[in-house]
Structure 1
Amino acid sequence: MVTSLQPGVWGVLATPFTGSVLDLDESGLARLCEHYQSIGVTGLTALGVFGEAARLTEQERATVLEIVTDTCELPIVVGATSLSTRVVIDEVNQAVEIVGDRIAAVMVQVNTAAPSALTDHLAAVHDATGLGIVVQDYPAVSGVSIRPESLVAALRGQPFCAAVKAESPPTAVAIHALAAGLQVPVFGGLGGIGLLDELAAGAAGAMTGFSAPEGLLACVRAWEQGGYEAAREAWLPYLPLATFEQQVGIALGIRKEALRMRGLIAESGVRLPGRGMPDELSEQLGRHLDAAKSAAAATL
């Protein structure tokens, strides 16, 4: 039986690099894992888009999984980068060899807009690996756009589905349809920029990379305890940072620089074809981080 993911905040790990050739920064990755565990996230997602998984070698991906598994005790969702069924199965089997029963699910991207073909793809991955699947709808990365009702048709009643990660704007509209049509949790992404609206639409939480995950936690916990108004108040101090991080073309570079400025990683390098954050934005990023730090301190 596939177990649905627990609601809450699932942190998506960045992959820090070091030096002029951008080698994997193993100690920096371990610090990120320790930080996420210390603030109380539900689980971690490794080898996602935020982790630049498609830019890692097979050995580097293995090393990332080894570090995550050895550093923290949280459940782990492992991302698969390919859209090909056979290659996804290979990626997942390699991950299982390293992570073992610590894998809560594998995250697989939507690879077709045809519901029956998508069902066949995901079922084949599940049948070959035995793992539950977090279905990631992220057309900006996959190049595949699927209508929410088609995604519901592909997933409704399917035993392999552990959750859906909805990253196809307008996300609140998609989440409303998915949450109403499926019996599995639906998570928002995209750096948390639409988090409040996604929770109002029925999201079970967030699964995303954001340089201040404390804000994601504050918002989701406030929603659970006090509803919309409480969640809105909790999220407002972090929203300018979330918006700032979503600048087209440099979003990843901004987030990694924010993590560096927070002291969580040593360097903010991004592998090509990604782009680092322009120096001109450094002062403003510092202002946003100071505001987020003050908000986090006020909730302790």
Structure 2
Amino acid sequence: MSAVTQEARAALESGVWGVVATPFTADASAVDELSLARLVQFSESAGVRGLTVLGVFGEAASLTEQERELALRVVVDSTDVPIVTGITALDTDDVIREIASAAAVTGERFRAAMVQVNSSHADDVVRHLEAIVAATGASIVLQDYPRASGVAISADALQVVLDAGPGIVAVKAEAPPTSPAVARITACGTTASVFGGLGGQGLLDELVSGAAGAMTGFSFPEGLVRTIDAWQEGGFSAASRALLPYLPLINFEQQAGIALGIRKELMRRRGLIENATVRPPATPFPAALSAHAQRHLDLVAELQEA
């Protein structure tokens, strides 16, 4: 085992870590820097604890190395919050290179690297993390998201990784059902923070199960912030009331296969980004849902005012 253990590092701070979308120009040929700056400035004003850049929702896999660096520079120059950088690679050497590049851009703002589970075997994942930490010194947010990585790991194997893996300051639990996974992890006494994702669909039950907050994208990040603030102040009932205005929109936004296109369109309608463009293999916003989207936005506005 590496000399650097999770006990030696502070757990990732509780709250909302907003996963940042990458806005593109209308033809998807370039990153829209102005929209990205506006988006992250709004997220900061909404009260997020920090930002996760280059995650799955940020379409990092479709970006060139130069575009990834550009996106990170825009975020660093536009906000003051700490940054978790998403890592798309699964191979150890490639992960190390991505972390080194991201850390060089983000400097003191770099809080951790979000690294995906890359094997169903605990020993392989532990060796992977040991090599990463030894080479980079980075703190690790371990992401269990089989839909994106293509790798499924059992609850028992994941617990072995958390017990032995170096540098882990947080776990992002996105293998459904998430609330039992969060409950199991937190019950085993890990010092790492546990976060839900998946657009906030399971947020309330994840909080009840011991989650430290949410690490996800949503077109109304202020709704997630209000929910977690309410949970911390008033528990389940208060959090339920805070989340209620946003639940229909969360469900609408998280439709399989088109979630990214929907979310970007909602952000566009909010004036946060200029275009709702996505890059393949993501699916653009379906025009047939245009009226549906507006109804959801109008409902949120009404409930916020109530």
- TM > 0.5 fold call: yes
Structure 2 residue runs of 5 or longer lacking an equivalent are: 1-7
2:299 aligned residue (291, 294, 297): 291
Displacement of 1:157 in angstroms is 5.1
What is the total number of aligned residue pairs between the two structures?
Answer: 298
Structure 1 residue aligned with 2:270, among 262, 269, 273? 262
Alignment correspondent of 1:251: 259
Compute the displacement of 1:183 (Å). 1.6
Q: Quote the residue 1:272 is aligned against.
A: 280
1:237 corresponds, among 239, 245, 252, to 245
Moved more, 84-93 or 152-161: 152-161
**Residues 157 and 117 from structure 1, CA distance in 2 versus in 1: closer, same or farther, beyond 3 angstroms?**
closer
- TM-score if structure 1 supplies the norm length? 0.97
Does the residue aligned with 2:80 lie in a helix, a strand or coil? coil
Residue number in structure 1 paired with 2:23: 16
Q: Which moved more, 1:153-162 or 1:6-15?
A: 153-162
SS at match of 1:231: helix
Larger relative contact order, structure 1 or 2 (CA cutoff 8 Å, min sep 6): 2
1:18 aligned counterpart, secondary structure: coil
Which residue number in structure 2 is paired with residue 204 of structure 1? 212
Cross-structure match for 1:104 = 111
State the shift of 1:238 in Å.
Answer: 0.4
**Which secondary structure state, in structure 1, belongs to the residue aligned with residue 262 of structure 2?**
helix
Matched residue, 1:127: 134
Q: Give the conservation status (yes or no) of the 8 Å contact 2:16–2:224.
A: yes
User: Separation in 2 of the partners of 1:2 and 1:130?
Assistant: 11
- Asked if 1:95 corresponds to 2:95, the answer is no
1:223 corresponds, among 222, 231, 254, to 231
Deviations 1:138-179 (A, max 9, x none): 000101111122111111154400100000000011111111
Range with greater deviation from structure 2 (289-298 or 274-283): 289-298
2:64 matched to which residue of 1? 57
Q: Tell me if structure 2 keeps the 8 A contact 1:11–1:44.
A: yes
The 2-side partners of 1:140 and 1:214 are apart by: 26
Unmatched tracts of structure 1, length 5 or more: none
How high is the sequence identity, in percent, across the aligned residues? Answer: 53
Question: What's the counterpart of residue 86 of structure 1?
Answer: 93
Mapped partners of 2:304, 2:217: distance in 1: 17
Deviations 1:215-262 (A, max 9, x none): 111111111111111111111110100100111110000000000000
What's 2:46 paired with? Answer: 39
Secondary structure of the structure 1 residue equivalent to 2:111? strand
CA RMSD in angstroms, aligned pairs only: 1.2
Q: Distance in 1 between matches of 2:165 and 2:64?
A: 33
Tell me the CA shift for residue 33 of structure 1: 0.9
State how far apart, in whole Å, the 1-side matches of 2:26 and 2:57 are. 20
Distance apart, 1:210 and its partner CA: 0.6
